[in-house]
A and B are shown apart, each in its own frame.
Chain A
Amino acid sequence: MNIRDKVLVVEDEKSISGFIKAILTTNGFDVITARTGGEAFSMISSHCPDLVVLDLGLPDIDGMSIIESVRRWTQLPILVVSARSYERDKVEALEKGADDYITKPFSAGELLARVRVAIRHTRLSNVSLASTGKFTAGELTIDYDKHQVLIAGENAHLTQNEFKIVALLGKCAGKVLTYDFIMKELWGPQSKGNNQILRVNMANIRRKIEKNPAEPQYIFTEVGVGYRMVEGD
């Protein structure tokens, strides 16, 4: 008997809830649904799902408060569904503790990819990383032991800060990390606000590891939100 991951979909629009459920069920997930924030609260605590897909535009309770209160007692992964133009919503959701977001309209492939990444990261995720100390994606290799980043076997000669940034992204590969999150990890909790230094560092990293900095294959920018590294092999 197969054990299936349980996903709670919190969405008030019947048609959207319907198609998310259809896609996930066909791909090996058990899906339960909630139409309102109130239902979501009770179902999360009673069912303890493996992942919550949460639409931010719920009629009764602000999605943010659901994230906040869930985070008070569990690290269960939360995937937020947002509309395209509201970057502030996405950033706020991520800062309150959501793991990732997906933008409407999205395809079945995108949804599945984000769901898998989110669940994987809460398990003892990077099994391969733990055993070999290396992260690989395409021709990119992050060697955590030697503190090196290699492209097609050649050392990319990253500076210390540049390496820290790439290493952080690699540990959370597939997940989006906000500018603020990365800034705090590298430059401390007082570093919020002006993220120019991070963006300049990232532009230099791109020039060292990407064939064409305007067509990245490894580190993607989500403008206004943060960065995301491609999933490992």
Chain B
Amino acid sequence: MDKIAEKLRRYFPLSLKGWAVFLLSMLVASGICILLHEVTTSDFHAPLIFVLVVLVVSLLTDGYFYGFLASLVSVFAVNWAFTYPYMKMDFSIYGYPLTFVTMLAVGVAVSTLTGRVREQEKIRMESEREKMRANLLRAVSHDLRTPLTAISGSISALLDEECAFDEQERRELLRNAKNDADWLCRMVENLLSITRISGDSVQGIAREEEMMEEVISEAVMNFRKRNPGVTVSVSVPETLLFVPMDAMLIEQVLLNLMDNAVMHGSRTTKIFIGVSADADFATVRVADNGCGIDLRLLDHLFDGSLPLTGGRSADNTRSMGIGLSVCKTIVEAHGGTIRAENRPGSGAQFTFTLKRKGDEP
């Protein structure tokens, strides 16, 4: 019973828009027929115009319902109102069955086609998202192997009784293993962020009103724990700034940007985070005093092509690409934008915005 109801609902959906389109088309067609009737004596335009109506209604509405309705009403309109004998139904005149069948056929065919086109659109978008997820997964999995190899290698060397390391060498191996492990943690957090976005709802994220300064200070504290040598200074406006967001995801964005500043800025010792806001958007800037972004890469940072560039520093570029790709996905899911530029002098600056109003993207 439910399945039948479900099918009925799918093929014959009712909507305000549907009724509006149907009634408007009928009125317009009737209007044209009446006008034309004043001008010419023959009636052959009537069925043609109403075939057009059926076409238009099927094109603009979902499902088969309005197309069918248009066909039915058109046949009666043509027969009763717009062809001889006027204001009277007459099925005896040759050609009516054909007219009716033609209209119905047009209605069904166009409804089916438009339905199919919409389905294709949906499938295409799903497959785009799947592709993006698959790409990201592949890139990250590939990247997981390198640090794991390093960790496993370093520790097995330390366990090997035949390898005689002095205290400094041992500490170095252990320190490298720790750095790689930390990097792995960050990658995993990025992965989890992706699942957090694409998880449940269509738009993907659950936003709550959070205080910008609190989210930033938590991200900075987290970052400082792992990078004690880098100075981070934050500036927020004096007035309280509440922005709807998924705090965990925005913290991930900030962490990725700060980590990139250190990992790819090569000599970054200072990071500066500034926040400003207007009625519609909150803007966050993350700037560093490192070596800036390679001009060749600058235009391609966010377009997803970065993970694929080869070369000596491929691994480095790839990890930067993943972090930024995740940032872009998260920021856009919040209705915002992200961009990168080099600062005058030296260093890079990333700016992202977050929409302040409601749920509409």
Contacts and interface: CB of A to CB of B under 8 A. Distances in A.
Nearest to A223: B247
A196 B209 contact: yes
Scoring B214, B221, B233, B248 by chain A CB atoms within 10 A of each residue's CB, the highest score goes to B214
A222 B221 CA distance: 11
B356 to A, nearest CB: 16
Contact of A203 (B209, B213, B247, B273): B213
Contacts of A199: 211, 214
Contacts of B275: 214
Contacts of B247: 223-224
Contacts of A200: 240
Given A200-B240, A203-B240, A221 B209 contact: no
Interface in B275-323: 275
B251 A223 contact: yes
A221 B214 CA distance: 6
Interface string B83-106: 000000000000000000000000
Nearest to A83: B192
Interface string A103-114: 001010000000
A85 B192 contact: yes
A84 interface: yes
A200 B225 CA distance: 27
B189 interface: yes
B220 A215 contact: yes
B172 interface: no
A214 B240 contact: no
B185 A105 contact: yes
Contacts of A216: 217
A181 interface: no
A85 B248 contact: yes
Interface string B203-231: 00000011101111110110001000000
A223 B210 contact: yes
Given A203-B240, A215-B233, A222-B218, A84 B189 contact: yes
A29 interface: no
Nearest to B192: A85
Is chain B's interface secondary structure helix, strand, loop, or mixed overall? helix
A41 interface: no
Contacts of B214: 199, 221, 223
Scoring A203, A207, A223 by chain B CB atoms within 10 A of each residue's CB, the highest score goes to A223
A84 B185 CA distance: 11
A214 B217 contact: yes
B225 A107 contact: yes
Interface in A97-145: 105, 107
A203 B234 CA distance: 15
B221 A220 contact: yes
Interface string A202-233: 01001100001111100011111000000000
B345 to A, nearest CB: 24
Contacts of B213: 203, 206, 213-214
Contacts of A221: 211, 214, 217-218
A213 B236 contact: yes
A85 B236 contact: no
Nearest to B195: A85
B221 A214 contact: no
B218 A214 contact: no
Contacts of B248: 84-85, 87, 223-224
Given A85-B192, A223-B210, A223-B215, A212 B234 contact: yes
Contacts of B185: 105
Scoring B213, B215, B225, B235 by chain A CB atoms within 10 A of each residue's CB, the highest score goes to B213
B45 interface: no
Nearest to A214: B234
A46 B234 CA distance: 51
Contacts of A213: 213, 236
Given A85-B248, A212-B234, A215-B233, A220 B217 contact: yes
A214 B210 contact: no
Contacts of A105: 185
Given A85-B196, A215-B233, A203 B211 contact: yes
Contacts of A85: 192, 196, 248
21 contacts: A84-B189, A84-B248, A85-B248, A105-B185, A196-B209, A200-B240, A203-B211, A212-B235, A214-B213, A214-B216, A214-B235, A214-B236, A214-B275, A215-B232, A220-B218, A220-B221, A221-B211, A221-B218, A222-B218, A223-B210, A224-B247
Interface of B: 185, 189, 192, 196, 209-211, 213-218, 220-221, 225, 232-236, 238, 240, 247-248, 251, 273, 275
Interface of A: 84-85, 87, 105, 107, 196, 199-200, 203, 206-207, 212-216, 220-224
